[in-house]
Chain A
């Protein structure tokens, strides 16, 4: 049926034909998708391809190729290209969903068995990690909560004030420099932040490993995120509110504290919580600065502590056996649940009280 006719298709329709060009039925893309998945899996099974990744890739390729061929023969080249692009976009969508679903599912599947009341309320003190399934993450939960809390106490006020400076006062070169470096700071690798605190706090000032030095590194990672999100939120506060306040003779600082910040508080909270969610999962700086203890240490300023990401890493890398893996997955499930929960709450707050025009 020839590409020749389809190329000429682009020119005005010939006499005697219908006015509309031939179209594939509405169910065609779905049908082709189903058929190519079946075919892909069939070929995979018959050829004995071990990895399901290959089955998926094969199906995707078949879907793209068959879709293009069918459409080109019925509808013409331009429509075929359009359908090809649509298929590609859908395949990209699937590509993103598969890892997410797989990751969540696999973590839950592996982790749910490890979680028990005992796991959540005991530390690893006195547990021979390679030989027994006992022990838990209580010390890691305490460590994570304390470190993240301290980091937030440091980073949130500084970030907030910086954002206020940028939005309310910021003119001129200093503000431009701050904006630029806040942006760049967002990309500082966590391991570099850890090295910096190590050289300043531990080597130069001579402090020992502690939860607090981990918090310092986490605070560095958190600050730019808080600044950016707060800045966006403050920009959304309508100028009329500020002007009304000035017109009543309220000084500027009071306007900011009593009018601007309360208006944007929902979005600011969201930003801070998202930043908290981000630093909760950081492993590298904690690994260098907190050092990972097996016992419960409730004092973040003295001695090594533990944290959830670090616990996962240690269980995976040092023990490297069944018991270690199972504990690692259990901790991973708790960590994911915590971070995702934080995310959901944060976005809930954002929806609930964002200023108009907010996300």
Chain B
């Protein structure tokens, strides 16, 4: 669009063409190189972690998958991921059980229920919730949420104790347990799930909705018959993105959970651990073998999140129009 281009181009066509070819080649290779670099980084992450893990696993005296303890730096190195796997999955599942229905509700609120004037600022507000750093969530979780969970946990222990999982074996300890972690994680992944789901709900064909309403459906019946079926793949993939985030969350879990190497189904008892939290907490005191052991657990976490995210993307890709999934 600059003044030079047309006149110059006419004047010096032959040489310019050679130049532009070279320029094109350089620019093309540069940008392709950047893309390839990303692939190389992903491969390198997998490669390096596998290499270090192999070193550590060779010296492990326990079974990596069934051992509860994590003492790789002891004279007889023993470490395993049983407790971590359990804690990671349970806290992430609790988070999903709470966050998915609420997120779908919020997405519906923004796309179909809220008065226009509230909807936009509120969507914005939920996006801001995503911007809060996880360390601040952790600090808020341990100093504000945990004291407030006290009454709720003892109440659950009292009335729902018969379900076994809500039975507290020692009353009166601060509820820095997997259940509280699950709730905190739910709050943290809420904005992610909401953002994607909302975009999907916005793309529901207007005609479907109006057809449902014209047939006399109430608003809820319209949503059940037109909006939710259309949005289902979007909801699933959004949930999986959120799940990936919840599985990998580090510092908020590390602040809230009081950890130990016990595996218990009493979700209200303090204890347990997650992959990411274990890495962050054990890292500073770890000796070389301890570090390699942590890398082995990091590799497991990497593979799990890779699978979850990959699956989410495949589901999204089946419906190309959900490209708003950038969150």
Shortest Cβ gap from A180 to chain B (Å): 6
Shortest Cβ gap from A172 to chain B (Å): 11
B276 at the interface (CB under 8 A from A): yes
Chain A to chain B: the 8 pairs with minimum beta-carbon distance, closest first: A281-B133, A92-B105, A189-B248, A51-B151, A251-B20, A161-B34, A187-B309, A253-B27
- Asked whether, in the complex, the Cβ of B219 is within 8 Å of the Cβ of A86, the reply is yes
A227, A280, A335, A343: the one within 8 Å of B128 (CB): A343
Interface of chain B, main secondary structure: helix
A130 at the interface (CB under 8 A from B): no
A228 at the interface (CB under 8 A from B): yes
- Asked whether, in the complex, the Cβ of B35 is within 8 Å of the Cβ of A165, the reply is yes
Our count of residue pairs bridging A and B at CB distance below 8 angstroms stands at 305
Q: Using known A-B contacts A90-B113, A259-B1, A335-B136, determine if residue A96 contacts B131 with beta carbons closer than 8 Å.
A: no
Shortest Cβ gap from A50 to chain B (Å): 4
Shortest Cβ gap from A259 to chain B (Å): 7
- Asked whether, in the complex, the Cβ of A178 is within 8 Å of the Cβ of B151, the reply is no
As a 0/1 sequence over residues 247 to 262 of chain A, the CB contacts with chain B under 8 angstroms (1 = contact) are 0111111101111000
B interface, size bucket: 35 or more
Which chain B positions have C-beta within 8 A of A100? 125-126, 128-129
- Asked whether, in the complex, the Cβ of A178 is within 8 Å of the Cβ of B39, the reply is yes
Measured in the bound complex, the distance between the Cα atoms of B38 and A225 in whole Å is: 12
Q: Using known A-B contacts A339-B133, A343-B131, determine if residue A199 contacts B32 with beta carbons closer than 8 Å.
A: no
Q: Size of chain A's interface in residues, with CB distance under 8 A?
A: 112
As a 0/1 sequence over residues 81 to 92 of chain A, the CB contacts with chain B under 8 angstroms (1 = contact) are 110111011111
Shortest Cβ gap from B220 to chain A (Å): 4
Which chain B positions have C-beta within 8 A of A189? 247-250, 276, 301-302, 305
As a 0/1 sequence over residues 106 to 129 of chain B, the CB contacts with chain A under 8 angstroms (1 = contact) are 101100011000000010111111
A323 at the interface (CB under 8 A from B): no
- Asked whether, in the complex, the Cβ of A336 is within 8 Å of the Cβ of B49, the reply is no
- Asked whether, in the complex, the Cβ of B45 is within 8 Å of the Cβ of A182, the reply is no
Binding-face segment, A112-120, A145-153, A296-304, A310-318: A310-318
Which chain B positions have C-beta within 8 A of A46? none
- Asked whether, in the complex, the Cβ of A192 is within 8 Å of the Cβ of B298, the reply is yes
A89, A103, A170, A195: the one within 8 Å of B298 (CB): A195
Measured in the bound complex, the distance between the Cα atoms of B49 and A191 in whole Å is: 12
B89 at the interface (CB under 8 A from A): no
